[in-house]
């Protein structure tokens, strides 16, 4: 693939270094001449000394040929503008932006960025996945955190213990994917009764995860 990266700082540098073994053709746009020389010399890839928010510099990097455009500068506004120009002016189908402030993720997505990545949010999610709320644990988050895969242990004092799924009345945006009982994996239906010690795998919206916890945990 042909990949253009706006930003040659630490993230841009190591991103290039990671992509190179996969035989992608990578071009970098960087404002600081010193960083341009470092990347060009050490990684032996084309580097444009320019600004990813300028049409002329994007054109010099042949962004119109790019399969993916990635903006990883230290400024959220520059990353947003770069991605918008790549998509709207050069027709790039896939854009990825670094977001320093996690609150900007939703804004970026609404304004056309395909993937907005926040290292702060990633670290927070990793910590969240390691926390077991007395029987409920987040296994994975998808769709930028909007969909959550949860693992829940049915305890003796759980409100759902010895009840069938149809009698529990789960939240609308929640699906019980499977139940692990001893060594058996059960694909549940409405008549499936939850037993003490069952390990329940559920998919829910982020909003309904808290409500799901209230259903299962006392």
Instruction: List, for residues 115-126, the tens digit of each pLDDT value.
Output: 888 876 655 565
pLDDT of residue 122: 58
Better pLDDT: 30 or 23: 30
pLDDT confidence of residue 121: 60
For residue 52, the model assigns a pLDDT of 96
Of 138, 145, 143, 97, nearest to 118 (Cα)? 97
Between 144 and 33, name the one with better pLDDT. Answer: 33
The tens digit of pLDDT for each residue in 131-158 reads 555 578 888 777 766 788 888 889 898 8
pLDDT at 216: 84
Half-sphere exposure of 91 (CA within 13 A, CB side): 3
pLDDT at 124: 59
**Sorting pLDDT into bands at 50, 70 and 90, what band is 102?**
confident
Domains within the chain, CATH numbers bracketed: 2-121 (3.40.50.720), 128-216 (3.30.70.1450)
How far apart CA 20 and CA 18 sit, in angstroms, is 6
Task: State the pLDDT at residue 32.
Answer: 96
The dihedral formed by the CA atoms of 130, 136, 138 and 139, expressed in degrees to the nearest 10: 90
In tens, the pLDDT along 80-89 reads 999 999 999 9
> How confident is the model over 152-183, as pLDDT tens digits?
889 898 889 999 998 988 877 788 999 999 88
- Across the beta sheet with 147-153, the strand order is 136-142, 147-153, 199-205, 174-181, 184-186
φ, ψ of residue 134 in degrees (nearest 5): 50, 45
* pLDDT, mean over the chain: 88
* Contact status, residue 165 vs residue 192, Cβ threshold 8 Å: yes
Distance separating alpha carbons of residues 110 and 165, to the nearest angstrom: 37
- The DSSP result for 11-65, as a single string, is HHHHHHHHHGGGT-EEEEEES-HHHHHHHHHHH---EEES-TT-HHHHHHTTGGG
């Amino acid at each position: 693939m042909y990949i253009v990266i706006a930003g040659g700082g630490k993230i841009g540098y190591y991103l290039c270094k990671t992509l190179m073994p996969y035989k992608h053709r990578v071009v970098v746009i960087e404002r600081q001449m010193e960083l341009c020389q470092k990347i060009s010399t050490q990684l032996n890839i084309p580097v444009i000394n320019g600004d990813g928010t300028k049409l002329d510099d994007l054109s010099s990097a042949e962004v119109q040929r790019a399969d993916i455009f990635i903006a990883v500068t230290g400024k959220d506004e520059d990353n947003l503008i770069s991605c918008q120009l790549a998509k709207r002016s050069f027709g790039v189908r896939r854009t990825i932006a670094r977001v320093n402030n996690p609150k900007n993720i939703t804004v970026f997505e609404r304004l056309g960025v395909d993937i907005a990545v926040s290292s702060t949010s990633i670290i927070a999610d990793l910590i969240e996945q390691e926390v077991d709320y007395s029987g409920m644990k987040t296994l994975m988050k998808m769709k930028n955190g909007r969909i959550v895969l949860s693992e829940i242990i049915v305890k003796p004092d759980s409100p759902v213990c010895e009840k069938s799924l149809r009698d529990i009345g789960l939240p609308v945006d929640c699906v019980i994917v499977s139940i692990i009982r001893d060594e058996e994996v059960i694909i549940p239906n409405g008549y499936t009764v939850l037993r003490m010690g069952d390990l329940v795998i559920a998919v829910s919206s982020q909003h309904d995860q808290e409500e799901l916890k209230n259903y299962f945990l006392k």
